Amino acid sequence: MTRTSMAGLVLLNVMLLCMLAVVTLGTDESAQASVSGGGRGEYVAVSGTIAGTKTPIIWIVDQASQELVAIQFDAQRDQLVGFGYRNLNNDSVSVRRTRQ
């Protein structure tokens, strides 16, 4: 692993940790009521790569709302960029329809 990619991953982890701290410590009960139908979601995050790209991608699934987002760190703009979104509940309904 090169020094540049290691520095990028460390920076990404620090940014994600800061975002987690802001969400955890900076919300009040009235703000939580409007998110995901009234409660906090349960999240699973997995990192990986996509063929043809050098920058790792992080997939985050909100198990409560059944939504998946993919984000990627853009080193040129020094920010996280949304890469994609899927509503897993809608996807599973459409798969069930095609199998019937």
Helices and strands, counts by H and E, the chain: 3, 4
Task: With CA atoms as reference, report the closest residue to 15 among 62, 73, 59.
Answer: 73
Out of 4-13, 36-45, 67-76, least confident range? 36-45
Confidence at residue 26, expressed as pLDDT on a 0 to 100 scale: 60
pLDDT at position 59 over 60: yes
Measured between alpha carbons, how far is 13 from 7 in angstroms, rounded to an integer?
10
Distance of CA 96 to the CA centre of its chain: 26
Q: Structure tokens of 20?
A: 């987690």
Percent of all residues in the chain with a pLDDT value above 90, rounded to a whole number: 3
Neighbours of 14 (CB within 10 A): 10
pLDDT grade for 13, boundaries at 50, 70 and 90:
confident
Domain map (residue ranges) of the chain? 3-99
Q: What is the pLDDT of residues 26-47, one digit of tens each?
A: 655 444 444 445 557 788 888 8
Measured between alpha carbons, how far is 17 from 78 in angstroms, rounded to an integer?
16
**Residue carrying structure tokens 């999240």:** 43
**Average pLDDT over the chain, rounded to whole?**
78
